[in-house]
Every structure is written in C-alpha cells, then in structure tokens.
A = this chain, B = another copy of it.
Amino acid sequence: MKQTFVMPAILLAVLGASSNAMAADDKLADAIQTRQAGYKFMAWNMGKIKAQAVDGSVAFNKDQVLSAALAIKGIANSGMGALYLPGTDTRSAPVKTRALPDLFDPKNTPERNKIGQNFVQQANKLADVAAGGDQAAIKAQFGEVGKACKACHDKFREEDKK
C-alpha cells in the first residue's frame, strides 16, 4: 500500500513543479507578446506616416499623421522596459523573440538606456512636429525616429545584427 501513496505524491510534486513552471512561462510569454504587440502597432503607424509624409503614396492628411504620431508617442512612453523580464531573450524565452541576450547584460545597461531614452525623445518630437503639420519637417523627424529604432535593432535584435 505504501507504494500506491508514495507514487501519487511524487507525481503530484512533479505535476506541481510543472504547473508552476508553466505559470512562470506564461508570464514570460505574455511579456514578450505584449512588447511585440507594442512594436507591431507602432510599425503600423510608422507605415501610415511614411506613406503620407515620406513616400507620398497616400495623400497627406495632417490629422491622420498626427493620430499616428500620438499612438507611437503613447506606446513609446508607456514603460515598455518592464516587459524585458529576465528569461525573455533568444536563449531562454518560452516563445519566439529576437531580443538578444546582450540586451539583458548589465554591462550594456548604460547603452541600452541611452538608446531607449533617445527613442522616446524622438517619438515625442515626431508628435510635436506632426501637430505643426509641416510635411517636410515630419519627413525629417520620421527619419530620426527610424534611426532611433534602428540603433536598437542593429545592436540588440537578432537577424539585423551585423
């Protein structure tokens, strides 16, 4: 009889540990998917600004460009750093991510913060410039935001890394 009680206890312990691991993985997966959602939504809005103020493939509409810039500004200022939890890099993440381990390395904290703060500043400036409605100024500042995005992609994102 002892065996029959010991076995379920071990099984329960294993299942319990597995269930805790699952909950932790869910939390990490959700953080990754939430930051990806933020970037995807910003990219959509960058695309609208590009089409209207840079390429001219869509007629320039000041209100639409401003709305797009404000969406980017709102997302950029929402504290996305909190979504970069330990265990969410390419080496350890439970779901697909392109965030390289270097991004989480404490020795890179100053550079990471500088890149992140510059991105927020450039996004804020894009919203200010968009409110002015000057298409040439929006085009120029769109370029600055693009450079700010690329600074992080080049350094800390898989595939784009040189």
Contacts and interface: CB of A to CB of B under 8 A. Distances in A.
Contacts of A73: 70, 74
A119 B75 CA distance: 18
B77 A75 contact: no
Most chain-B Cβ atoms within 10 A of its Cβ — which of A41, A44, A67, A79? A41
A78 interface: yes
A74 B36 CA distance: 17
A67 B81 CA distance: 13
Given A34-B44, A71-B75, A74-B75, 9 more contacts: A37-B40, A38-B41, A41-B41, A41-B78, A70-B73, A70-B78, A71-B77, A74-B74, A75-B75
